[in-house]
Structure 1
């Protein structure tokens, strides 16, 4: 569960945002603060994973507050929610290491989309993982498969067939087995399999025998 602290000077707005968050699976609102001073106290006391931070607070600019919050909670992530639209403000927020910047007013789906990205991207880089894959980094920066080209000679249609074959397989598959099933070359099958492995979709298992180990591919979690 990802614990969230809301920092907003408007009590009613904070309540609405709390409702949005509570309806997002995997998130829990642990508190709310309406001034910078209160935010520091609550952050130190609650140690939330994520703060939803408004920039316009009565006693301090929210961007200046970020450093104070991280002094009492070094692992804290910050998602800015603000009506501030100035380019320099957005740049300063980015330099401060925010995970996202959402301009008010916004809908429940707008906020939930950002929260779900945070959960899938940032939380995948947890303490149990010593080494990050490129796919982990891509998720953090919002670079998904649809934004990146397939390897040369590959098509979206064939990729879907490969994914379907892997999903239907009772266990792992080699490039040769996949090629036979799809009626394509082993080189082509391996290209798709390695692409999906780089994406973080597949695990690779090595089968040892005579000669070089055989690479076998299986859907993660299967």
Structure 2
């Protein structure tokens, strides 16, 4: 389980965000803080993997909390900023502090779920690498400015890739190759090729669905973001 600390000065907002985290498979809330001081204390005490950090706090603002975490060497914790702050200097300060993402309130569950799923996928990818190639680094840090769109493998078309992408986006719990083939009216082998393509470029992941007897079925889940 990925351990999450929720930091927000509003008790009800913190409760809502905690509920979002708890609804996301593979994540658990290990603490809730309503002040910057409590956030710094809880990071030390509960050692979360990820902090959902508000900017507007009653004592220290979120950027001060972020700077304190980095200054005292808490590099093991990752941070996603969740705030109503939209001024450019705050966004720039968050980037300089090494946050993974910046979510602007208010937002729906799906927006946070996508970021958590993306974080989980990148974490697993890095844990499984002995050394990172350039493609791996690009995926972790995002597409480089001006970089070309990924080239589709031979036999795949952009139009059909878009069709499969839409089918994935429409099923938040994922779908199998057979289900994708039924929805898109493709052959199962073709649907699976597109699904595996999205997995290969980090836009989808495979989860195993168990049920009945026999081998578990591969379930493809969209991770969010633009595929091309």
**Distance verdict in 2 for CA 1:17–1:112, change over 3 Å:** same
Q: SS state of the match for residue 125, structure 1?
A: helix
Give the corresponding residue for 2:116: 115
Unaligned runs of 5+ in 2: 162-185, 204-228
Please identify the structure whose Cα radius of gyration is greater.
1
- Match of 1:65? 65
Bigger shift: residues 128-137 or 109-118: 128-137
Root-mean-square deviation (Å): 3.4
Instruction: State the alpha-carbon separation in 2 of the partners of residues 12 and 200 from structure 1.
Output: 34
* Preserved contact between residue 50 and residue 77 of structure 2 (Cα < 8 Å): yes
Give the corresponding residue for 2:219: none
Q: Distance in 2 between matches of 1:17 and 1:85?
A: 19
| Residue equivalent to 2:15 | 15
Any idea what the Cα deviations from partners look like across 1:143-170, whole Å, max 9, x if unmatched?
Answer: 4xxx724169875279979x937969xx
**Deviation, structure 1 residue 141:** 3.2
Deviating 4+ runs (over 4 angstroms): 151-155, 157-161, 165-168, 195-201
TM-score by length of 1: 0.66
2 CA distance for matches of 1:158 and 1:19?
37
Mapped pair 1:156 → 2:157: yes
Within the alignment, does 1:97 sit opposite 2:122 as a pair? no
* Residues 135 and 199, structure 1, Cα contact 8 Å, conserved in 2: no
Structure 2 length-normalised TM? 0.64
Name the structure 2 match of 1:179.
none
8 Å contact 2:55–2:62 — kept in the other structure?
Answer: yes
Counterpart of 1:150 in 2: which secondary structure? Answer: coil
Q: How many residue pairs are counted as aligned between the two chains?
A: 171
Change (3 A) 1:123 1:196: closer
